[in-house]
Structures are given as structure tokens and as C-alpha cells.
Structure 1
């Protein structure tokens, strides 16, 4: 079976499942996203260890769960402070030679992916069920569109390297093509999802810049970690797609960027959901 066929056979049912759980919202969506978060953290911890930056075995999950549940758990700040105190105390008295490395890499593995996924959950919880669904699907489709257009734009027109030391195949031509893909994803979301949300296409257009800029940065940071670890993929859990980190790397920064913009226009009273 070819790699392309593997990708398609996995991607279609996975996309249907994602859209269905996004529509259901609530804990169906949150539970799904939290599970994805744990898989991403596991892959990150393995890559960081392979790059010479090992993490604590358990605290990344503890920190990540705290972040992803922060809006809904009681005494969230106090619980976070307790986790911080306990973790720093344990690392302070650790006798291993890589104690400081474990301290910093554990925080990165614990915070990075959960913050991005929390942002996606916060977008889903915005306004009515219909509004949250549209905003979430629009964000995801923009990331997918950016990825597809950047790939084909770079393949057909790429001449100037974007970050050759990190990802030699990425070009500036592909990067700017990604903005076109973001627009395509946004347009599809607005006209394929038949709900009125109060957000016009014109008001949503700046999302193209936010998603189209920070999505590729998320892709590059994963590439940088994989290159240091000497790994091609974050794992082989997803047939034809590598690992969860490979599939969600761009979304981990694109979702926070999209959330910030949406919250900004809400606070300025440009839109009400």
C-alpha cells in the first residue's frame, strides 16, 4: 500500500471523527483534545530525550493536565502553585547530573502543547454552540489549508530557503502560498457551515495573518526538535502521517494566535457571539 493511500485512508475517517466531536462540543470535545495532548507530550518527551534534553517522567503530564483543565477546575491557581512547589523541590534535591536540563525541558514539555490545545478548547467554548463550532472548524481548516498550499507552493515555485538550518525544504514562496491556503480554509468554513455567528468574513480576514504566520512557526519548532533528536517523525502512531505532534505542530501555535485575535475583537465590541 502506498504512503499516499495510507494517508487518505486514515485522514478521511479521522477528519469525520474530529468534526463530529467538535460539533458535540462539551466534554466529548475536551476529552478528545486532552487525549491528543497526552500523546503529543509523550512524543515530545521522547524527542527531547533523544536530543539530549531529558524530562521528568511524570510532571509534564501533570502540568499539561492542569493547564488544559484550568478553566474548569476549582482552586486552579492554588493547585498550579502546589505542582510548581513540589516539582521544583524534587528537582532541587535530585542528584542526577542533568537536573537543570530536566527542570527546563519538563516545563517546556508540560506547557507548550497544552497551552495550544487549551486555546482550541477556549475557541470551541466561545458563544453559542454554532459559533464555537464554526470558529474551531475555521481555525483547523486554515491550518490544513496553509499546510497544503505551502507544500505545493514551495514544490512548484520555491527558490528561496526559509530556514535551511532547520527545515531545508521550506521556502519563502511556500510560506507566502500558505496565506492563500489560510484564506481558502476560512472561505470554506464560512460557506460550508450554515450558521450565523455575528462574525463576518471581512472581520475574520486578519486571522489569515495570525494563523498563516504562527502555524509555520509551530511546524518549524517541531522540525528543530526532530533534527536535534535525529528523528524523521515524532512517532509512527498515525498511518502515513507520523505522530500526533507531526499532525498538530502548526495548530499548537496557530490556535493561541487565533484565540488572541478573536478575544481582541470581542473586547473591542466588534463582534458578539
Structure 2
């Protein structure tokens, strides 16, 4: 089986499942997001270990669940604060010379993916159930559209490297195509979804620009970590696609940017 066919056979049912869970909303969507977040954290912790900046093996997951559940369940925020105090105190009195780097990498591994994915949950909570669903799926299509068109556009027309020391194959031309791809993703969802839209196309346009701007930064950040860890993929958990961090790297920064924008206009 060719790698391209394998990618399609995995991506199609995964995309359908994601859309269906987003439509179900509530805890169905939240549980899926929590599962994806924990898997991204698992991969990120391994990459940080490979990059010689090891994090704590337990606290990142605790911090992640704290971020994702603190607004949903009673006393989760208070329990998270206690864990925070415990971890910082332990690292403060640690005799290891790596205690400060470990402190930094643990907070990064514990908060980076959860904050990004929490933003997706918060976007899903905007307005009515249909409003949140449309905005969530539209953001995902913006990011995927930008990523796909940036890849093909960069491959066909790319000449000027965007960040040669981080990802030599990424180009400014590809980035420009990414903005077009994000716009196409927005238009696809806007005209295909058979529902009243919560915002006009003009109001959604800045969201598409933000997705195409911050998505590549998330992609480059993961590339930088993988390069330091000497890893091609974040894992092999998704056949033909690498890992969950590989698939959601752009969304981890695009979602917070989109949420902040939507919070001010919705």
C-alpha cells in the first residue's frame, strides 16, 4: 500500500469522526479534545527528552487536565493550584543542576497543547450549538486549507526560504499560498454548511488571516523541537501521518489567536 493511499484511508474516517464529535458537542467533543491533548503531550515530552531538555513525567499531564477541566468541574482549579505549589517546591529544593531547565520544559509541556486545545473548546461554546460547531469546523478547515495549499504552492513555486535554519523546505511563496488556502477553507464551510452563519464573511476574514499567520508559527515551533531532538515525526501513532503533534501543531496556535478575535466581536 502506498503512503499516499494510507494517508487518505486514515485521514478520511478521522476527519469524519472529528466533525461528528464537534457536532455532538458537550462532553463528547471535550473528551475527544482531552484525549488528543494528552497524546500530543505524550509526544512532546518524548521530543523534549530527545532534545536534552527533559520534563517531569507526571506533572505535564496534571497541568494539562487542570487547564482543560478547571472551568468544567468543581474544585479542579484549586487542586491544580496545589499541584503547582507541590511541583515548584520540589524543583526549588532539588539538588539536580537540571532543575531549572526541567521546570521550564515541564511548564511548556504542561501548558502549550492544553491552552491551544482549550481555545478550541471555548470556540465551540460560542453562541448556540450550531454557532459553535460552524466556527470550530471553519477554523479547522482554515488551518488545514492553509497547510495543504502552502505545501503544494511552496513545492511548485517556492524559491525564498522562510526559516532555513528551522525548516528548509518552507518558503515565503508557500506562506502566501497558505493565506489563499485559509480563505478557501473559510468559503467552503460558509457555503456548504446548511445553517445560518453566526458571522458575515467580512467578519470571518480576519479569522482566516490569523489562522494562516499563527498556524505556520505553530508548525515551525514543532519543527524546531523535532530538529533539536533529531526526530522526523513526533511519533508513529497515526499511520502515514506521523503523530498527533504533527497533525495539530498549527491548530495549537491558530485556535488561541482565533478565540481572542472571536471573543471581542462575538
SS in 2 for 1:205: helix
SS in 1 for 2:52: coil
Residue equivalent to 1:115: 115
SS in 2 for 1:47: helix
Residue equivalent to 2:179: 179
SS in 1 for 2:118: helix
Residue equivalent to 2:38: 38
**Cα distance, 1:197 vs. partner?**
3.4
**Cα distance, 1:70 vs. partner?**
2.1
> Which of structure 1's runs of 4+ aligned residues deviate more than 2 A?
73-81, 93-97
Residue equivalent to 1:29: 29
**Quick one: distance in 1 between partners of 2:203 and 2:105?**
38
87-96 vs 202-211, which deviates more?
87-96
**Quick one: distance in 2 between partners of 1:136 and 1:238?**
22
Residue equivalent to 2:227: 227
Residue equivalent to 1:236: 236
Residue equivalent to 1:205: 205
**Cα distance, 1:77 vs. partner?**
4.2
- Cα-to-partner distance string for 1:211-269 (whole Å, 9 max, x where unaligned): 11000000000000000000000000000000000000000000011111111112xxx
- Cα-to-partner distance string for 1:10-33 (whole Å, 9 max, x where unaligned): 000101111110100001000000
Residue equivalent to 1:269: none
Residue equivalent to 1:132: 132
**Quick one: distance in 2 between partners of 1:198 and 1:234?**
36
SS in 1 for 2:168: strand
Within-5 A mapping of 1:85-100: 85-100=85-100
**Cα distance, 1:89 vs. partner?**
1.1
8 Å CA contact 2:139–2:208 kept in 1: the answer is no
Residue equivalent to 2:143: 143
Name structure 2 gaps, 5 residues minimum. Answer: none
Q: CA RMSD in A?
A: 1.0
Within-5 A mapping of 1:35-114: 35-114=35-114
SS in 2 for 1:260: helix
**Cα distance, 1:76 vs. partner?**
4.7
Residue equivalent to 2:155: 155
**Quick one: distance in 2 between partners of 1:197 and 1:185?**
15
**Cα distance, 1:66 vs. partner?**
0.3
SS in 2 for 1:169: strand
SS in 1 for 2:231: coil
Name structure 1 gaps, 5 residues minimum. Answer: 267-273
Aligned length: 266
**Quick one: distance in 2 between partners of 1:53 and 1:104?**
9
TM-score (norm 1): 0.95
TM-score (norm 2): 0.98
**Quick one: distance in 2 between partners of 1:39 and 1:80?**
20
**Quick one: distance in 2 between partners of 1:240 and 1:200?**
37
- Cα-to-partner distance string for 1:134-154 (whole Å, 9 max, x where unaligned): 000000000000011100110
**Quick one: distance in 1 between partners of 2:186 and 2:153?**
18
SS in 1 for 2:101: helix
SS in 1 for 2:13: helix
